[in-house]
Amino acid sequence: MIHHTAIISPTAQLPRDIEIGPYCIIGGDVTLGSGCHLTHHVSLQGPSTFGKNNLFHPFCSIGNKTQDLKYSAEPTFLEVGDHNEFREFVTVNRGTGPNEKTIIGSHNLFLTYSHVAHDCQVGNHCIFSNNGTLAGHVIVEDHVIISGLAAVHQFCRLGQHSLIGGCTKIVKDVPPFMIADGNPAEVRAVNEIGLQRREFTEDQIQTIRKAHRCFYDPKLNTSQALQALADEFSGSAHVQTLIDFVKSSQRGVIR
């Protein structure tokens, strides 16, 4: 099911069950998985690979070259998993350096005008609200929600199950399970509603809530807070996730 107005490169690889609507453009070295659907006026550029059952809405532009000024036309890549939905005017860029990749997982929803820049890594089950924007080299872990008009500085990380408030400016790493909001961003609370929706138990949420109070105790510096977490919550895998995230941070975490 390919509309006669679509323009498709001879080097694109398409399955038999794909649906391509009017005025779509598929560039060279684009590989699409089974069940993908391009509504109309969609632009896919390569080298890019897409898994199965991805849905592309009008005027999204996925796989174009990086906007990084260092780029000098070397081959760079985009890899996208399965069951993602890209709404109108979403943009996703390939990597910058030779053979570098932008990587997007599966089951993500990108709302209108959201942007994923070069060399980013987006996990699974994430939601980007309208105009949610990532600069280059950002890592977004699983089950993250980025609210409308939020912007993330390059090289930052957003921990799993975190929530970024609307119009928020992120310049440091956001720890897992937390809500970050404001300009500059502050960690406001535990993302309890999100954890409940993902079937965390009440005991697990209560433990994370206590760990939040411990880590953000104003009387403790970061090293002291990490030691307090290790001492008090040694049996919690979720708190250990928080500890490991903070210890591995390159930009520092929001405290």
- The domain ranges of the chain are 7-137, 196-247
* Options 136, 148, 159, 165, the catalytic residue: 136
Determine which helix (DSSP H) or strand (DSSP E) holds 64, and give its type and residue range. strand 61-64
Class of residue 94 by CB neighbours under 10 A (exposed 0-12, middle 13-18, buried 19+): buried
* Options 37, 118, 137, 161, the catalytic residue: 118
User: pLDDT tens digits for the chain (255 residues)?
Assistant: 999 999 999 999 999 999 999 999 999 999 999 999 999 999 999 999 999 999 999 999 999 999 999 998 999 999 999 999 999 999 999 999 998 999 999 999 999 999 999 999 999 999 999 999 999 999 999 999 999 999 999 999 999 999 999 999 999 999 999 999 999 899 999 999 999 999 999 999 999 999 999 999 999 999 999 999 999 999 999 999 999 999 999 999 998
* Options 68, 82, 119, 181, the catalytic residue: 119
Q: What is the pLDDT of residue 244?
A: 98
Amino acid at 11: T
Dist. CA 29–CA 11, nearest whole Å: 5
The verdict on whether 118 is a catalytic residue reads yes
Cα separations in angstroms, 75 against 15, 30, 114:
24, 13, 24
Sheet holding 37-38, edge to edge: 19-20, 37-38, 55-56, 85-86, 109-110, 127-128, 145-146, 163-164, 178-182, 185-190
The CATH fold of domain 196-247? Udp N-acetylglucosamine O-acyltransferase; Domain 2 (1.20.1180)
Q: Which two tokens stand for residue 50?
A: 């897409």
The verdict on whether 231 is a catalytic residue reads no
Among 160, 168, 175, 93, residue whose Cα is nearest residue 126: 160
**Structure pTM?**
0.96
Q: What is the pLDDT of residue 239?
A: 98
Among 126, 122, 193, 106, residue whose Cα is nearest residue 157: 122
The verdict on whether 119 is a catalytic residue reads yes
- The number of residues in the chain equals 255
Q: What is the pLDDT of residue 170?
A: 98
The CATH superfamily label for domain 7-137 reads Hexapeptide repeat proteins (2.160.10.10)
Give the SS3 label for residue 203. helix
Sheet holding 43-44, edge to edge: 7-8, 25-26, 43-44, 61-64, 91-93, 115-116, 133-134, 151-152, 169-170
DSSP letter for 245, please. H
